[in-house]
Chains A and B, each alone.
Chain A
Amino acid sequence: MRDIFRTRRMWRRRGELKPRYDVVVIGGGSHGLATAYYLAKNHGITNVAVLEKSYIGSGAAGRNTTIIRANYRTPEGAEFYRSSVELYEHLSLDLDFNLLFSQQGHLTLAHSDRAMITMAERAEVNQLLGIDSRLVYNDETARLCPELNLSDDVTWPILGALYHPPGGIIRHDAVVWGLARGADRRGVEIHPYTEVTGIERSNGRVTGVKTTRGEIACDTVISATAGWSTLIGDMAGVPLPITTHILQAFVTEPLKPFLHVIIVSSQMHVYISQTDRGEFLIGAEIEPYTTYRGTSTFPFLEYSARHTLELFPQLESAKVLRQWTGLCDISPDYSPILGLTEVDGFLISCGWGTYGFKAAPIVGTTLAELVATGRTPQLIAPFTLERFYTDTLVSELAAAAVSH
């Protein structure tokens, strides 16, 4: 009986920081932990410390709405996210931990002719790359989601949708804990409540980091700090094309399961899924102003509830249970920034905006490969920081502004 209440540690509590590590990862979110995990698993690099200023998963990793999909607009993006979805499909097995990945399908609604054209384009790009994605009309949408209000008697009648069957939702905390456990078991040290306060450099290369718990020497620092990336970039002398915004979400009380597909409406800035616990999970787009303060707002609750009711009037008397925010690192082209910088040994994963959770496994594998081999993997070559200096952007505006 007592065993039921035993605290099961997912990763070891470590003592003091060592004076030196081969690799220091800043940020104990999904990207930092995935990178550490794959460094150890795929390349045997285990003298690694993950430094997190708060608790593990305290950032966007523990606050996101867990949509995983590959139906992006650019060939570079679609190929990249497809590889990540494939890794997620095997991640439960790989980590020996049930992540509750449910590939229930993802519907992006079109409420205008223009949206239908954009969706048709996205479907074409996706199909060329072998991604299951197609345009559907209301007869099929009604079969996929009988509860959706498809009537004309609304502000924005639905004309059709982009249907992406492999799109799904996952238990985000499980992803974080599973990756942390996997990394820990292979020898990586995970240090929560350890804030990085400076990055030491000499002759244009990284030599160590300063933290609230002492200094560490290292040759490689990977910043996986999402909404805080600019501040870490400043420590390394690397300017970034990032602005930090909040993204909000809320859940209703648990209801009888009736929604078995993810619904996104860019027109109404709202997206909806039903979690395994039965809660309706509702999100929107970012707040337009930059901020590091994660306070929820009432207008968000008001307009996203109103828009949700246009799609699901039957939620009329559902009670709101919780509302929260997370920080997002928005890049100018809605694509990530990955890999090397002008400072030798300082690598970054940022520009994740509102869509980075789905990319954690592929970020982890590609950054680990980059550290181990010194070569940038082809898959992430389009996403260098340098592209903003040469103006060779990878615009995902059409596929990432509201759908995360």
Chain B
Amino acid sequence: MSFLLPCPNCGPRDVDEFAYAGETTERPQGTPSPRELASYIHFRRNAAGVQREWWYHRFGCELWFLAERDTRTNEVLKTELPSTDAAGSPTPHEPATPDTPAV
């Protein structure tokens, strides 16, 4: 068994129905240096513990959502639809679709 992920729209489903899009990241503000940008693009916290991350219900309702999952146990503590103040998410000037790494 892999694990179940509760889609905020469809409820608990097998993780293989979803596309994983990585931990939330924070885009550097202002005019970032190339080094800051490269760091934002490539480096990850890769936490052993609770991680906030993006998922996409690929074989389901096709919604993007956020999950909090303990990477040591794969226990999913919480899932929610993104709001404008979600980490690594749109500022009011950006479109509502979250900025995500390639799936």
Measuring CB to CB, which residues of chain A are less than 8 angstroms from any residue of chain B?
A: 230-231, 239-244, 287-293, 295, 297-299, 332, 388-391
- Complex contact B43–A388 (CB within 8 A): yes
Whether A291 touches B74, Cβ cut-off 8 Å, given contacts A298-B2, A299-B2, A389-B35, is yes
- Complex contact B43–A243 (CB within 8 A): no
Whether A391 touches B38, Cβ cut-off 8 Å, given contacts A288-B20, A289-B20, A299-B2, is yes
Q: Does B24 contact A (CB under 8 A)?
A: no
- 20 A-B pairs in the complex with CB atoms less than 8 angstroms apart: A230-B44, A230-B45, A230-B48, A231-B48, A240-B46, A241-B43, A242-B46, A243-B46, A244-B71, A289-B15, A289-B53, A291-B71, A292-B71, A297-B1, A298-B1, A298-B2, A388-B42, A390-B35, A391-B34, A391-B41
Interface residue from A230, A244, A389 paired with B38 (Cβ < 8 Å): A389
The smallest beta-carbon distance between A269 and chain B, in angstroms, is: 13
Interface of B is mostly: mixed
Chain B neighbourhood of A240, CB < 8 A: 43-44, 46
Measuring CB to CB, which residues of chain B are less than 8 angstroms from any residue of chain A?
A: 1-2, 14-16, 19-20, 22-23, 34-35, 38-39, 41-46, 48, 51, 53, 71-74
The smallest beta-carbon distance between B15 and chain A, in angstroms, is: 7
A389 vs B34: C-alpha distance when bound (angstroms):
8
A292 vs B38: C-alpha distance when bound (angstroms):
25
Chain B neighbourhood of A241, CB < 8 A: 42-44
A19 vs B23: C-alpha distance when bound (angstroms):
40
Chain B neighbourhood of A242, CB < 8 A: 44, 46
A390 vs B48: C-alpha distance when bound (angstroms):
27
The smallest beta-carbon distance between B2 and chain A, in angstroms, is: 4
The smallest beta-carbon distance between B24 and chain A, in angstroms, is: 13
Chain B neighbourhood of A293, CB < 8 A: 71-74
- Least CB separation from A242: chain B residue: B46
Chain B neighbourhood of A239, CB < 8 A: 39, 43
Q: How many A-B residue pairs have CB under 8 A?
A: 66
Chain A neighbourhood of B15, CB < 8 A: 289
A291 vs B16: C-alpha distance when bound (angstroms):
15
Chain A neighbourhood of B41, CB < 8 A: 391
A174 vs B86: C-alpha distance when bound (angstroms):
50
Interface of A is mostly: loop
A323 vs B16: C-alpha distance when bound (angstroms):
19
Chain B neighbourhood of A389, CB < 8 A: 35, 38-39
Whether A292 touches B1, Cβ cut-off 8 Å, given contacts A239-B39, A240-B43, A241-B43, is no
- Least CB separation from B1: chain A residue: A298
- Complex contact B39–A299 (CB within 8 A): no
Chain B neighbourhood of A244, CB < 8 A: 46, 48, 71
- Least CB separation from B51: chain A residue: A290
A291 vs B51: C-alpha distance when bound (angstroms):
10
A200 vs B46: C-alpha distance when bound (angstroms):
22
- Least CB separation from A391: chain B residue: B38
The 4 closest A-B pairs by CB, nearest first: A230-B46, A241-B42, A289-B20, A297-B2
Chain B neighbourhood of A390, CB < 8 A: 34-35, 38
Chain B neighbourhood of A299, CB < 8 A: 2, 14, 16
Whether A243 touches B44, Cβ cut-off 8 Å, given contacts A293-B74, A298-B2, is yes
Chain A neighbourhood of B73, CB < 8 A: 293
Chain A neighbourhood of B2, CB < 8 A: 287, 297-299
A297 vs B74: C-alpha distance when bound (angstroms):
12
A332 vs B43: C-alpha distance when bound (angstroms):
9
- Complex contact A295–B42 (CB within 8 A): no
A332 vs B38: C-alpha distance when bound (angstroms):
11
Chain A neighbourhood of B72, CB < 8 A: 292-293
The smallest beta-carbon distance between A196 and chain B, in angstroms, is: 14
A244 vs B16: C-alpha distance when bound (angstroms):
18
Chain A neighbourhood of B51, CB < 8 A: 290
Chain B neighbourhood of A288, CB < 8 A: 19-20
The smallest beta-carbon distance between B95 and chain A, in angstroms, is: 25
The smallest beta-carbon distance between B79 and chain A, in angstroms, is: 14
The smallest beta-carbon distance between A289 and chain B, in angstroms, is: 4
A295 vs B22: C-alpha distance when bound (angstroms):
20
- Least CB separation from A303: chain B residue: B16
A299 vs B1: C-alpha distance when bound (angstroms):
7
A130 vs B89: C-alpha distance when bound (angstroms):
49
A291 vs B2: C-alpha distance when bound (angstroms):
12
Chain A neighbourhood of B39, CB < 8 A: 239, 388-389
